Chain A
């Protein structure tokens, strides 16, 4: 943004000085020119440069109210503006964007897109173009940007582990391989898949190992300019952690368990205390329903000190007291919840569902635990995102190729526009949140 303005100024200066410097007009007619031609010429140039300036000003694009929507079937992203509620530009050729996610640079100018096929793309939101792009692994599941904004970490399935890159150049900074599992027929080592990667205060990255039931904390240490990443490992945290989150204040890291009931909790203020299993009984002897889509935990819905969490394999939302880390209620819902998203003021939690119930959205009042609103936006309502102050809820409806915008107070639809097979919706406000 700043550079555009500077460029524009220098352009204007060069226009007005060029006439004097050209030296094309004979000296004998200089006076005449000055009186008759030169003045209108200057005036013309002035008008041209003024209109150029206005054009440039018109094109200036603040980034604070922008967002990125994943077009999963076309491997593209749509840059959007939440104030105007409209699409701005499309950027293509980003690879396999099934389960893609996005983080933003501290200045909200760049979006980093993590693709399924190991693609990591840095997009310039001001110029609607790819700034850098690399294929960093065979198969990837998401990433995070460090607290200081210097590093991008990506969690990988193939080969399992995390890789850390310079946010500026996307050059490799560190390669942390996960625990080896076995060797395949070609004698290649297979490593555990990594899930639930988050950034934590202190320039750390925390993540979970799906196949070997571990949580790892990668700590950045800089002694005498000798950069190093140290990894602290917590084994036996519970079976098959499938996703994780960090609480908004950055203190607790919580992994959801697929292979057994409950969640694994790590207090980042007290790493010495180790990992504790919470809600160990919520799913014991209960889970009979097949899971057609893993619930997502990132952006865990918090209202006061209560968290509203999708249950695995149940048509329920669990309410957890985050001071005692105990379940205090169960809210029956329409299907298997995938996302539970809290309105920023915590008054409502919006829930979407796994296939085959994914045409419905329910809204829960966080005081009464009642479903206060339900509607069917279309087939495959995949993702929801509130604008930072919560006056809009954006919703992607994959099979209608549509993004819909709602007023969460009146539940009225404010806008709708076309995006090819939309899934994840990510606003630039994520740049200033811990854990993303």
Chain B
């Protein structure tokens, strides 16, 4: 009985922990922007590594152009999801695992506002 109590308590406690941490993670991704250093690293990645397919000036290559005019009618969630989960059936890979939701959100914002053009 004691044993059962303790295991269900552990389960309950860990569930609370999980909810808490995911809430915390959500709050962090939606409200905080990456540090300046991280922003620089992300812009470098965008220009140099995303640039392998989309062009260093984002005018397109094997992947489509990512200029502001190409993305203005696309919802930001679509861009974030494309970065994180890729586009199956195309050469666009999922960057989830290498980039956080926060990173992808910030990058999508930069692309939407044409900051790097």
Q: List chain A positions with a Cβ less than 8 A from chain B.
A: 72-73, 96-99, 116-117, 138-139, 141, 157-158, 193, 195, 210, 240, 242, 258-259, 290-294, 355-356, 380, 398-399, 421
Contact = CB atoms under 8 A, between A and B. Distances in A.
15 contacts: A73-B56, A96-B57, A96-B59, A98-B55, A98-B56, A99-B55, A139-B61, A141-B62, A158-B60, A242-B62, A242-B91, A290-B95, A294-B53, A294-B62, A355-B98
B34 interface: no
Contact of A117 (B47, B49, B59, B95): B59
Interface of B: 44-45, 47-49, 51-53, 55-57, 59-62, 86, 89, 91, 93-95, 98
A160 to B, nearest CB: 12
Contacts of B51: 98
Contacts of A292: 49, 93, 98
B62 A193 contact: yes
Interface of B is mostly: loop
B86 A290 contact: yes
Nearest to A97: B56
Contacts of A258: 91
B55 A116 contact: yes
Contacts of A141: 61-62
B52 A98 contact: yes
A355 B53 CA distance: 13
Given A72-B56, A116-B55, A356-B98, A291 B61 contact: no
Contacts of A240: 91
Contacts of A290: 86, 93-95
Contacts of A210: 62
Contacts of A380: 48
Contacts of A291: 91, 93
A94 B49 CA distance: 20
Contacts of B94: 290
A356 B49 CA distance: 10
Contacts of B60: 139, 157-158
A423 to B, nearest CB: 9
A259 to B, nearest CB: 8
A210 B62 CA distance: 9
Contacts of A195: 62
A161 to B, nearest CB: 16
A262 B57 CA distance: 32
A116 B91 contact: no
Contacts of A99: 52, 55, 61
Contacts of B47: 73
Nearest to A421: B48
A333 B61 CA distance: 28
B94 to A, nearest CB: 5
B97 to A, nearest CB: 8
A355 B98 CA distance: 10
A294 B53 CA distance: 9
Nearest to B52: A293
A117 B55 contact: yes
Nearest to A358: B49
B55 A294 contact: no
B48 A398 contact: yes
Nearest to A289: B93
B11 to A, nearest CB: 32
Given A73-B56, A96-B56, A290-B86, A157 B61 contact: yes
The 4 closest A-B pairs by CB, nearest first: A290-B93, A98-B56, A98-B51, A96-B57
Contacts of B56: 72-73, 96-98, 116
A356 B98 CA distance: 8
A173 to B, nearest CB: 25
A30 to B, nearest CB: 69
B116 to A, nearest CB: 13
Contacts of A96: 55-57, 59
Contacts of B53: 294
A117 B58 CA distance: 10
Contacts of B59: 96, 116-117, 138-139
A157 B56 CA distance: 15
Nearest to B47: A73
Contacts of B95: 290
Contacts of A193: 62
A196 B59 CA distance: 21
Nearest to B89: A259
A95 B113 CA distance: 23
Question: Which of B45, B47, B49, B51 has most A Cβ within 10 Å?
Answer: B49
Given A141-B61, A158-B60, 5 more contacts: A96-B59, A98-B55, A139-B55, A139-B60, A398-B48
Contacts of A97: 56
A259 B52 CA distance: 19
Question: Which of A98, A116, A157, A193 has most B Cβ within 10 Å?
Answer: A98
